[in-house]
Chain A
Amino acid sequence: MNTLLILPIIVPAITGMLALLARNYPTVQRGLSVLGAIVMFGVGGGLVYQVQSHGILAVQMGNWPAPFGITLVVDYFSAGLVAVSGFVALAVAVYALAGIDETRERFGFHILFHLLIMGINGAFITGDLFNMYVWFEVLLISSFVLLVLGNDREQLDGAVKYVGINLVSSAAFLTAIGLLYGLTGTLNLADLSQSMAPVREAGLGPAIAMLFLIGFGIKAGLFPLYYWLPASYHTPPAPIAAIFAGLLTKVGIYSLIRIFTLLFPNPDGYTQAVLLVVAGATMLLGVFGALVQRHILRLLAFLVISAMGYVVMGLGFLTTLGLAGAIFYVFQDVPVKTTLFLIGGLMERETGTTNISKMGGLYEHRPLLATMFIVPAFSLAGFPPFPGFWGKLTLLQAGVQQEQWVLVAVALVVGLLTLLAVAQVWGRAFWRPKEGELPTMEALNARFLMNGPVGVLALALFVLGCYAEPVFSFAHKAAAHLTDTGPYVQAVLGG
């Protein structure tokens, strides 16, 4: 039994519980939080190493043989995501030491943060559909409470929309699970992928696929189900918004890719056409929304949506190259979005306003912040030395291979529009001279705690852009396992 596989769930659970016990000792709690995140990052690295040396790993909980028990599976895709989420969780945990006010800390920020990570990791590594639903609820309830933590009026307003639509999305997911169970009699993903024949015979394949698309599409913020995202993501403090933007949408997209490649590898009917249309519309409308925003975090929230379109485009092609591009894009998008939101928080703090038209002078007075902003911003727009470029290039190659010229054109135009949106932020907030003085600098300690993690994230992204090959070949192997599900099924069911 490979104990490493259960650690991504156990470690945040234990950290969260210890942090709960230490709630009257803020210093201890903070130490535990960072320590737990460090261990999580280590576990993620260990998983990547194990998967590379042993192939797909699976473990049966309680030694009940699959498909009767609950299975945890880690393949290239999920191992990479666990490692990346450990990395950004560590960065956010350090940033939050200075970026979260004392009230929110007292009401359990660190505890909820680790429980959220537990839910995210659980959804990444589970091999069972109903289990995935349960992990989704674990991460949802933690994110609900994180979103309203502090009880600002804005936060409550955003949470009403976020909570409402996520309850509907869970219902859609649960309906799809119920229908699948009734038709096949199993909920184990590997087992399901081999026993989809009754579903095809009943002609319910596209219907169930659409239910999954609605359920996960809401969580991933896809067109036309994305309106809750820019309504809620900008309301909590920057570290919470950063972890939401970095990881929550990625859980939706991960589940979408996992389910569609395992259960609907040869889509019949309209499924694939719907995916391609959704991809194009998500990209376009996300970036159009960003162009007219002046609230820095809302602008970034619209760019989160736009990036999801690229990933769905790779899924829509359903080729190894397209999936490799999508997976690489997800891997780099997690740190990109986290970094952007953390920088957005820093910009608010340095200028004392959320409106980019009223910011200014940041390049003159905070050159380091401006330098750090360039990396994720240009990666988002797809500039060559930055990792976003390689993801987009692969996706475009896959699009050309499939001769999906409209979507390729949309992707190129959206890249340019993204650059325009980012350049607006740059021109208004960084280059324009500031009328009046910037607020005084805070204590050096707090500045270091907040700028340090952002710097590390930006540096990691830059290095990833320059040496993309190892990560890209990793993503390519992940995609190969998604198009050829044989090894996955064999690892879970044995034989």
Chain B
Amino acid sequence: MSAEESGPAGSAALSGWEGRKGPADDNFVQLLSPAGERLSNPEYDSWIEDLSDQDLLGYYEDMVVVRRIDTEATALQRQGQLALWAPLLGQEAAQIGSARALQPADFVFPSYRENGVAYVRGIDLVNSLRIWRGNTHGGWDPYEFNMATPQIIIGAQTLHATGYAMGVVNDGADSAVITYFGDGASSQGDVNEAMVFAASFQAPVVFFCQNNHWAISEPVGLQAHQAIADRAPGFGIPSMRVDGNDVLAVLAATRIALDRARNGGGPSFIEAVTYRMGPHTTADDPTRYRDANELEDWAAKDPITRLGALLDAKGLLTEEAKAAVQAKADQVAKDLRANTISLPEPEALQVFDNVYSEPHSALERQREHYQHYLAGFGPAENTAAEGAHR
């Protein structure tokens, strides 16, 4: 049978590819309603009953600060100080809730949007901005903060996390590993292979999927017809699906998963159902692909407003407390701006640094030649300016 006979390329034959529907959004664990009411859940409550008022205020402050960092970084990008920025606007609870569950010895393998997690790990965000400014690919020493530098290849970090966790088991250590990735990433082979390995070796790794509904312009329905959390059990990995805009639910789920990891229970999967309120990056135009109504619906589920309402009801969000949080956020933003703008230009020969850890003759030769070449432009010349010719 020829292809002509069997496979017409007309629209009718393939129209079933259209009209994809994503998994429902309301089938998840929620401990804090959008209106800020504390909802009880017998399985999860015990994991957060130790929280003090101070803790709650702390999470609120974290979220306000990272949102403020986003605003500042976006402004810096618009002013030409950053080449690009990937905002996490709307995902504050998913990041703060999960990161606050971690202990210092736990290791984090992020994607590129985990600035909230980096903030909680104690990383000065100027080190993140250095990357987006184009000064470096790295930004910080992963071993200093137990957090790998951002990963741009979608999904690759989940395998790194799993391997690291296998090492943790070999070493007889009791720390855990967490890896962050998106709904889009869940389609990648790497993520699926990471789950196979994690289950096979009972690696203490938490797969933390921030389902923010969009992979650039592609809706989650294109990646998954059923909840993404439903896949993990097929790999032999228990999973939880939580409201990702609910910092308490995220915290509780991550604590459950980390506890399992530390106690020899192997990997866990968490799908945090959240929403990317901003563009994918500052180079993106979401009006081309997404409905303004959708944005409005999600604005009503805002993670910060929600915790704010709870704090308010408890009488904790006094004018004074609010002002203190705002002052902290403004200070962080101010420092971030100043430190970013004053970053020195990288020196030309840095282009050859750290390619190998031991001398490499071919590269040494290229470095020497290029140095000689640059010297031809005069003593102060560090840059091979276009048009500098003779």
Question: Do they bind each other?
Answer: no
